[in-house]
Amino acid sequence: MSLLVATVAVVASLPFGLATAWVLARREFWGKSLLNGIVHLPLVLPPVVTGYLLLISFGRKGPAGQFFEQCCGLVFSFRWTGAALACAVMGFPLMVRAIRLSLESVDRRLEDAAGTLGANPPWVFLTVTLPLIAPGVIAGMILCFARAMGEFGATITFVSNIPGETQTLPSAIYTFTQVPGGDEGALRLTLVSLVISMGALIASEWLARRAGGAGRIAS
């Protein structure tokens, strides 16, 4: 459950993360610091507060929740999709931060050079900018994934802790610790969590080396 939730959270928030990071890194506009603040809010707010805010806006009665239910039949409250949303919101600032930092370190002059070679701006982004920021994007995704795996407060507030529907790894561990004799189950899940996290780290390292190392390894 946790894996699915975390993966969906990362994949679904990636396009938004890229767009937000690009806007924050490249554009100057009125309200930029406000957007910046909103994006980073989940990082500083207590997770329970974030979860409650999600509940009142994306719940069945919330304005955003009603909108999504009507337009595409997507229900968040007390479903696994809600858990994914909570995880995405919590991981979003980390992802945006990582991508934005790598975007800011991209040599704009390379993009100019691509322009003089006939590439229009979308192509410049695809063929030059994106490959150059790939390590940053991957780092952002991993951070977001880790955050999603560990997310507890916002999830439990927003979608509760329903086994098989919204119960994620941390909330399952929490449940085990609350019942007598649950130590064994908790330990088992802890091991699972360790393995998954370690695997994600190693995978990210490998991906980042492949993406960033393409320029360094001569064929």
Contacts with another protein, residue ranges (CB under 8 A): 107, 109-110, 112-121, 123-124, 127-128, 131-132, 214-219
Output the CA–CA distances (angstroms, integers) from residue 49 to 90, 166, 185, in the order listed: 11, 18, 29
Closest to another protein by CB, 116 or 178: 116
Closest to another protein by CB, 101 or 186: 101
End-to-end CA distance of the chain: 41
202-208 CB contacts, 8 Å cutoff, 24+ apart: 204/138, 204/139, 204/141, 204/142, 207/138, 208/134, 208/135, 208/138, 208/139
Residue 75 and residue 53: Cα distance in Å, rounded?
Answer: 16
Kind plus residue range of the DSSP H or E element containing 9: helix 2-26
* Other CB atoms within 10 A of residue 30 CB: 6
Transcribe 145-165 into DSSP letters.
HHHHHH--HHHHHHH---TTT
Minimum CB separation from another protein for residue 108, in Å?
A: 10
Minimum CB separation from another protein for residue 28, in Å?
A: 17
Minimum CB separation from another protein for residue 212, in Å?
A: 9
Minimum CB separation from another protein for residue 119, in Å?
A: 5
Closest to another protein by CB, 79 or 209: 209
Minimum CB separation from another protein for residue 101, in Å?
A: 18
Side chain identity at residue 4, one-letter code: L
Closest to another protein by CB, 180 or 215: 215
Closest to another protein by CB, 67 or 123: 123
Closest to another protein by CB, 48 or 134: 134
Minimum CB separation from another protein for residue 97, in Å?
A: 23
